[in-house]
């Protein structure tokens, strides 16, 4: 029997209208839709596309740990086998991926397990890093600029070194690392250029001046954009 | 009279199906569609969405120089005023932007001239840097990785320094800078990890092993992806 095809479906940062035409077509025609359900109960990926899912489609929730520590890998083994069972039966499976599947995405752990066994197609999605620039009205990079995208979870020294040489930067996954990042930005005289946004393009998107933020209110799904200073004229 | 709204419309890297639902909706309903026409005769942006444009929509070609040298800024002044004339008359104008408008995009020069004068909305698009990873089947970044996106037009020393500390990198705008980049990748022992793609998601997309490329055949619209080496298990 012909096996099914695995789709890694980038569904963008939150606004359902930021799905691509291609992701929408595949999402609305595949027999099986898989998505992570996190330990903290959040099922953002499914929420983004809830209006597009039809009752006759099979839903495959995959309980995954929030972090991707080494010890969490068995959960991906289980999820991969659940998906493989459908693929083996000849059913196409679309895995919902917030943002862009290949950028810090949990889909990549499934990709590593399944892409060599089944026909696989990754459909790129709008990354929240890019969408944030649009929401903030801030051009990121011009001409010869170097853009660095880095997680706030890095140690302070590495963050400082990378930020010091970046023409433009996006610092993702702020959460409880916000205070550390703010201190580093102040040291590097970057606070004036830094723009904060949380839950970009989602209904509860929030843009706040960085100096007015309380560290304890900063969620994981937030980022700081430091746009290029290059001015063409 | 109420002025029109300016849209910076990210239309993705080349495959028309990689437009977002939102970009498609705006594109097919605005009265005026503007797009750059380059000196070398290429009108890629319009070609991507050609099938979506209706005869009754007004098309506004904007002759723009290929590079964004300081001397090219007057062309943006002219283009901005052509767009402003329609906005002033109350007509919405969508400017087509290949990839993501805020990332190395010529739209940003129009944004700088018009966003303070007219209501403006930027619609994020799929960047070719992200789409390339999907086409190459290569996850870019995991967990604590830093991704650096840099133009091959940088001087060799800067390229070498930035690449040396990046966990993952995308080197864009290769063209006549390919030989320089290849030499640096060899020096940094990165050639084995480097993946080459040109015209990602376009009908004439080409993926070639980097060691088999002749420098003179490398177009401007090509890039090298160096995926993260981080392996979760």
Share of chain A above pLDDT 90, in %: 87
B128-226 in CATH: which number?
Answer: 3.30.950.10
Going from N- to C-terminal start, the domains of chain A cover 6-123, 128-226
Q: Answer yes or no: is pLDDT of A169 > 80.
A: yes
Test A12 with B20 for CB contact under 8 angstroms.
Answer: yes
Q: In this structure, what token pair is assigned to residue A63?
A: 């309980």
pLDDT band at A233 (very low <50, low <70, confident <90, very high): very low
pLDDT in the model for residue B106? 86
User: Can you list the residues of chain B whose pLDDT is less than 50?
Assistant: 233
Interface of B with A in 176-215 (CB under 8 A): none
Enter the pTM of the model: 0.95
CATH for the A6-123 domain, from 3.30.9.10, 2.60.40.420, 3.40.1010.10, 3.40.449.10: 3.40.1010.10
pLDDT in the model for residue B233? 45
pLDDT in tens, B152-205: 999 999 999 999 999 999 999 999 999 999 999 999 999 999 999 999 999 999
- Supply the ipTM of this predicted assembly: 0.94
pLDDT in the model for residue A231? 66
Q: Let me know: does A60 contact A6? Beta carbons within 8 Å.
A: no
Q: Name residues whose C-beta falls within 8 Å of residue A87's C-beta, 6 or more positions apart in sequence.
A: A3, A4, A5, A6, A93, A114, A117, A118
Question: Which of A66, A103, A177 should we substitute to test contact with B (largest number of B Cβ atoms within 10 Å)?
Answer: A103
Q: Let me know: does B161 contact A165? Beta carbons within 8 Å.
A: yes
In sign, the C-alpha dihedral spanning B122, B128, B129, B130 is: positive
pLDDT in tens, A99-134: 999 999 889 999 999 999 999 999 999 999 999 999
Query: Contacts of residue A133 in chain B, CB cutoff 8 Å?
Result: 100, 102-103, 122, 124
pLDDT in the model for residue B231? 66
CA angle, A34 then B10 then A17, to 5°: 40
Nearest to B124 among A134, A144, A153 (CB): A134
Distances (CA, A) of A226 to A182, A196, B68: 12, 9, 22
In angstroms, rounded to a whole number, what is the distance separating the alpha carbons of residues B131 and B109?
24
Test A17 with B20 for CB contact under 8 angstroms.
Answer: yes
Nearest to A146 among B13, B123, B162 (CB): B162
Q: Which residues sit opposite B172 in a β-bridge? A: B151, B223
Test B154 with A143 for CB contact under 8 angstroms.
Answer: no
In angstroms, rounded to a whole number, what is the distance separating the alpha carbons of residues A66 and A75?
11
Query: Contacts of residue B173 in chain A, CB cutoff 8 Å?
Result: none
């Amino acid at each position: 029997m012909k096996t099914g095809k695995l789709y890694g479906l980038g569904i963008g940062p939150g606004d359902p209208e930021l799905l691509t035409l291609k992701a929408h077509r595949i999402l609305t025609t595949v027999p099986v839709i898989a998505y992570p359900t996190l330990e903290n109960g959040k099922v953002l990926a499914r929420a983004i596309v809830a209006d597009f899912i039809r009752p006759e489609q099979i839903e495959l929730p995959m309980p995954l740990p929030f972090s991707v520590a080494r010890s969490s890998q068995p959960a991906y083994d289980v999820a991969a086998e659940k998906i493989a069972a459908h693929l083996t039966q000849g059913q196409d499976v679309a895995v919902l991926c917030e943002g862009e599947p290949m950028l810090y995405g949990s889909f990549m752990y499934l990709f590593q397990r399944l892409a060599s066994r089944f026909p696989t197609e990754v459909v790129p999605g709008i990354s929240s890093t890019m969408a944030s620039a649009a929401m903030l009205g801030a051009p990121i990079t011009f001409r010869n600029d170097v853009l660095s995208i880095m997680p706030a979870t890095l140690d302070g020294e590495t963050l400082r070194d990378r930020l010091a040489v970046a023409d433009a930067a996006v610092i993702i996954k702020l959460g409880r690392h916000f205070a550390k990042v703010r201190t580093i930005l102040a040291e590097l005289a970057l606070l004036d250029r830094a723009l904060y946004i949380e839950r970009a393009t989602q209904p509860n998107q929030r843009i706040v001046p960085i100096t007015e933020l309380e560290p304890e209110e900063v969620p994981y799904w937030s980022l700081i954009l430091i746009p290029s200073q290059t001015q063409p004229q």
